[in-house]
């Protein structure tokens, strides 16, 4: 044996090992004699017996093809050229050994004689079942995402229409509609953190009540997780109750209190009771608004139960009963309790946040949001720098005089961190406007307020005014 022979053997062993690690099987087909040779690795993938088997034409393999792929396989055969060459196809194969279906990818070379007839073929087979399953899962997820987005858009459209019918001014409409959108956003934030497996009731309550009046609100109940549909419905219901309490009920005075308690019912559902006390004497409403309709009809139907609102003189009592189908098992991923958000009051913004003369940089990649910020902050007296829609645009504006800034956390896939670092180094205050909830990665290291989308421009104006006030009272 020569050194060259040993080298070729070593190379062959390396090739064999590489094919084994890659999960690739090989075959040889002598078409003239009708003998098809299956390797051990191909046998492990396809369930065929290793060794030789009779095969005179490619049609002999149709018995192995999944019925749904048979038409495509026959079409592939019809399209093969008479000349020799490389061929490739993917197909589902029914394993003869156990009946299991696997996806395989076949790549080979056909050698043909002078008459154009196939003489022999060699090729490899790889198991692509896992990749195909991932593709199917991705398509399913995309279809589910499309479904959810359309549902959200339809819900938003309905909320806008119903809210508009019950309001008499643009300011009140924007305020009520914005509050309802925020309630939906809070629920979706919690669901996203839990991979849409469920949202905890105490998290939904905390998101709505946590910042209203810490010493005036309390809630308690067992750990319960709701379906996405039920979570959105409960978030909207809690928002209506909270907004009403702030405007007219217990939270409109310092002596009032709101207590929320939920219990598990024997049938597997739950009941949540909202109790107000210590507020103004409650009178029966003269007319029913959309908020009452939303609570008594929409929320109760989405919860597969009922909603009872009792306007008692001592305070409103609301009971929301939900069916067992609204409750899900504890998800594998449970997010931390959310930071509370502010529920809007009835008083519209009237220029209370004074930004007169302040030069404010707007960095926002959504054109409509940037336009809304520019208009709203200008009405509050600010001089707008920008808006900048891209990271490069924002960088080019940094050489101007800037008193404060509004930064979108993500600009078309790029973190706004470089802009924030420059502003922080120059001691220029800024706020983050983000749709990423509480988890914003590196942005958490900056001492800057975070306003979650969807937001009202008045929130941004108020935050900027407060930052500028602090900067003025503590000059460099």
DSSP code at position 294: I
Same domain, 177 and 246: yes
Confidence (pLDDT) at 104: 93
Per-residue pLDDT, 396: 93
Q: Are both 295 and 364 inside the same structural domain?
A: no
Whether pLDDT at 240 is above 90: no
Comparison of pLDDT for 167 and 124, the residue scoring more: 124
Helix (H) or strand (E) holding 227, with range, is none
270 & 229 share domain: yes
Q: Using alpha carbons, list the distances in angstroms from residue 316 to 216, 260, 291.
A: 15, 12, 14
With 70 as the cut, is the pLDDT of residue 257 above it? yes
How many structural domains compose the chain? 3
Q: Are strands 306-312 and 327-328 parallel, antiparallel or unpaired?
A: unpaired
Confidence of residue 407 (pLDDT cuts 50, 70, 90): very high
What is the reported pLDDT for 49?
A: 92
Q: What percent of the chain has pLDDT over 90?
A: 28
229 part of a folded domain: yes
Q: What count of other Cβ atoms lies within 10 Å of the Cβ of residue 385? A: 20
Q: Are residues 140 and 106 in the same domain?
A: no
Asked whether residue 77 falls in the same domain as residue 168, the answer is no
pTM score, whole prediction: 0.49
102 pLDDT band, cuts 50/70/90, is very high
Instruction: Give residue 290's pLDDT.
Output: 52
Whether residue 387 has a cis bond before it, omega within 30° of 0: yes
Which of 96, 127, 158 is the last residue in one of the domains?
127
Show Cβ contacts of residue 15 under 8 Å, excluding neighbours closer than 6 positions: none
Name which of 66-75, 163-172, 273-282, 351-360 the model is least confident about.
163-172
Structural domain of residue 51, as residue ranges? 19-127
Domain membership flag for residue 210: yes
Does 12 reside within a domain?
A: no
Question: From CA 67, how far away is CA 93, in angstroms rounded?
Answer: 9
45 shares its domain with 99: yes
Q: Is 318 within the bounds of a domain? A: yes
Q: Are strands 383-388 and 359-363 parallel, antiparallel or unpaired?
A: parallel
User: b/e map of 135-157 (b: 16 or more CB within 10 Å)?
Assistant: eeeeeeeeeeeeeeeeeeeebee
Q: What is the mean pLDDT of the chain?
A: 80
pLDDT of residue 317: 93
- CA of 341: how far to CAs of 192, 269, 387, 455, in Å? 17, 27, 27, 11
Instruction: Count the neighbouring beta carbons within 10 Å of the beta carbon of residue 316.
Output: 21
Query: In terms of domains, do 155 and 294 share one?
Result: yes
- Integer Cα distance of 421 and 443 in angstroms: 10
Confidence bin at 346 (pLDDT 50/70/90): very low
Peptide bond preceding 160 in cis form (omega within 30 of 0): no
Taking the C-alpha atoms of residue 374 and residue 380, their distance in angstroms, rounded to an integer, is: 10
Same domain for 138 and 282: yes
Residue 303: pLDDT band with limits 50, 70, 90: confident
CA distance to 12, 52, 57, per residue, from 43 (Å) = 20, 11, 20
Q: What is the DSSP letter of 106?
A: E
User: Cα 169 to chain center, whole Å?
Assistant: 34
CB atoms near residue 212 (< 10 Å): 19
User: What is the rounded CA–CA span in Å between residue 79 and residue 451?
Assistant: 59
User: Do 147 and 61 have their domain in common?
Assistant: no
Task: Name which of 53, 44, 50 is nearest 22 in CA terms.
Answer: 44
CB under 8 Å to 365, separation ≥6 — which residues?
389, 390, 408, 410, 411, 412
- At 347, the pLDDT band (50, 70, 90 cuts) reads very low
Judge whether residue 142 has pLDDT over 70.
yes
Considering only residues 368 and 64, tell me which one the structure prediction assigns the higher pLDDT.
Answer: 64
Give the rounded percent of residues in the chain with a pLDDT score beyond 70: 74
Highest mean pLDDT among 154-158, 197-201, 281-285: 197-201
7-21, 191-205, 217-231: segment of lowest average pLDDT:
7-21
pLDDT (tens digit, 9 = 90+) per residue, 163-207?
A: 676 677 777 777 767 766 776 666 666 666 656 677 888 888 888
**Domain of residue 35, CATH code:** 3.30.450.20
pLDDT at 229 over 70: yes
């Amino acid at each position: 044996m020569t050194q060259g022979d040993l080298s070729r053997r070593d190379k062959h062993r390396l090739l064999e090992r590489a094919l084994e690690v890659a999960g690739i099987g090989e075959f040889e087909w002598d078409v003239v004699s009708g003998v098809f040779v299956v390797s051990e690795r191909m046998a492990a993938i396809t369930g065929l017996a290793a060794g030789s088997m009779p095969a005179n034409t490619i049609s002999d393999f149709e018995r192995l093809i999944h019925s749904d792929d048979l038409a495509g396989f026959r079409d592939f055969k019809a399209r093969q050229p008479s000349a020799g060459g490389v061929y490739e196809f993917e197909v589902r194969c029914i394993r003869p050994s156990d009946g299991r279906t696997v996806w395989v990818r076949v790549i080979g070379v056909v050698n043909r004689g002078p008459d154009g007839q196939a003489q022999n073929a060699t090729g490899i087979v790889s198991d692509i079942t896992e990749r195909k399953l991932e593709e199917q899962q991705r398509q399913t997820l995309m279809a589910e995402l499309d479904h959810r987005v359309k549902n959200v858009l339809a819900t938003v459209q309905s909320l806008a229409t119903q809210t508009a019918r019950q309001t008499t001014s643009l300011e009140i409409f924007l305020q009520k509609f914005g509050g309802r959108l925020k309630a939906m956003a809070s629920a979706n934030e919690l669901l996203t953190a839990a991979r849409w497996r469920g949202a905890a009731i105490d998290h939904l309550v905390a998101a709505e009540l946590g910042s209203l009046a810490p010493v005036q609100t309390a809630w308690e109940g067992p750990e319960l997780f709701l379906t996405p549909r039920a979570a959105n419905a409960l978030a909207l219901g809690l928002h209506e109750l909270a907004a009403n309490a702030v405007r007219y009920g217990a939270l409109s005075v310092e002596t009032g209190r709101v207590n929320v308690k939920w219990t598990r019912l024997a049938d597997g559902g739950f009941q949540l009771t909202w109790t107000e006390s210590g507020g103004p004497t409650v009178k029966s409403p003269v007319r029913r608004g959309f908020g009452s309709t939303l609570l008594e009809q929409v929320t109760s139907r989405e919860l597969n139960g009922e909603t009872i609102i009792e306007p008692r003189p001592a305070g409103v009592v609301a009971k929301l009963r939900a069916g067992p189908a609204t409750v899900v098992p504890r998800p594998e991923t449970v997010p931390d309790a959310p930071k509370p958000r502010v529920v809007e009051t009835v008083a519209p913004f009237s220029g209370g946040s004074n930004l007169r003369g302040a030069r404010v940089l707007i960095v926002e990649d959504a054109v409509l949001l940037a336009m809304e910020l520019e208009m709203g902050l200008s009405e509050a007296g600010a001089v707008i720098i920008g808006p900048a829609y891209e990271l490069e645009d924002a960088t080019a504006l940094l050489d101007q005089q800037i008193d404060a800034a509004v930064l979108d956390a993500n600009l078309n896939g790029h973190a706004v961190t470089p802009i924030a670092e420059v502003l922080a180094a120059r001691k220029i205050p800024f706020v983050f406007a983000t749709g990423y909830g509480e988890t914003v990665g590196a942005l958490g290291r900056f001492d800057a307020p975070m306003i979650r989308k969807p937001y009202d421009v008045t929130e941004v104006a108020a935050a900027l005014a407060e930052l500028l006030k602090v900067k003025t009272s503590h000059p460099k």
